[in-house]
Amino acid sequence: MEIQKENPELVRGLFSDIAGRYQMVNHLLSGGLDFYWRAIAVRIIRPWKPATVLDVATGSGDLAMAIRKACPGARVVGADFCAPMLEVARKNGLPELVVADGMSLPFADQNFDVVTAAFGLRNMASWEKGLSEMARVLKPGGHLLILDFSLPTLPVIRPLYRFYLHHILPHIAGIATGRTDAYEYLGGSIEKFPSGNAMTSLIDSCGFRDAIAHPLTMGTVSIYTATRK
């Protein structure tokens, strides 16, 4: 089932506005845990020994840079539809950048060994289109890694996390970025995004097999891995 979600122009506009402060706010709101989540992602990717990696919705390029460091010699390409975010990635030292919509990637079929997306798939208007494009550009047997927010499964934690997400986070972020609405949007998008089994089923229905969920930090974030059929 195709559900229409976020408005791409709205999403691009939000990230254009906050691009210069994105990394600082990210570290602030996650309490530095984003470094840990990327470190886990890279620990999963390294044994795959990729020669070519595409990081979709690369934004400021943090995951792509971490992969370059962990997999020396790998060609790591960062793609994003928001040019100001890619400008931050360029300043951070990511050399190969492409302005591109994750739902219509400008790459030939079966091009990459690994495709990643950190906190990007959730923002796409169609998760199915995003995942199917990732499958298309991956070589058969290639690996997918999605890192994104999820809702904690523990009944005690979930309401506390929701309170933080909807009532505390937008205010802190509003002070830091001047865009409270951008972070109200974040909470809403996390609520709608599938997690756990719902996400592994979705991934497997888009050209992948053996999708696995790896919940982190009490399930507030998850890494999903899968193999291209």
| Residues that bind ligand SAM in the complex, under the rule CB under 6 A | 8, 11-12, 15, 26, 57-60, 62-63, 80-82, 85, 101-103, 118-120, 123-124
Of 118 and 229, which CB lies nearer to ligand SAM in the complex structure? Answer: 118
**Complex with ligand SAM: residue 104 or 197, whichever CB lies closer:** 104
Cβ closer to ligand SAM: 105 or 211? 105
Of 102 and 219, which CB lies nearer to ligand SAM in the complex structure? 102
Which amino acid is residue 167, in one-letter code? H
Cα distance between residue 6 and residue 143, in whole Å: 26
Query: Measured between alpha carbons, how far is 163 from 173 in angstroms, rounded to an integer?
Result: 15
Residues 199, 165, 39, 176, Cα dihedral to 10°: 140
**Packing angle of the helix pair 169-177, 180-192 (nearest 10 deg):** 140
Closest CB 80 distance from ligand SAM, rounded Å: 4
| Least CB distance to ligand SAM at residue 50 (A) | 17
- Separation of alpha carbons 78 and 62, rounded Å: 10
Pairing, β 138-149 against β 52-56: unpaired
Minimal distance, residue 10 CB to ligand SAM, in Å? 10
* Minimum CB distance to ligand SAM, residue 43 (Å): 16
In the block, residue with structure tokens 């802190």: 172
User: Closest residue to ligand SAM, Cβ-based?
Assistant: 59
Q: How far is the CB of 226 from ligand SAM (least distance, A)?
A: 18
DSSP E strands in the chain: the ranges are 52-56, 75-80, 97-99, 112-118, 138-149, 208-216, 221-228
Nearer to ligand SAM among residue 85 and residue 115 (C-beta) = 85
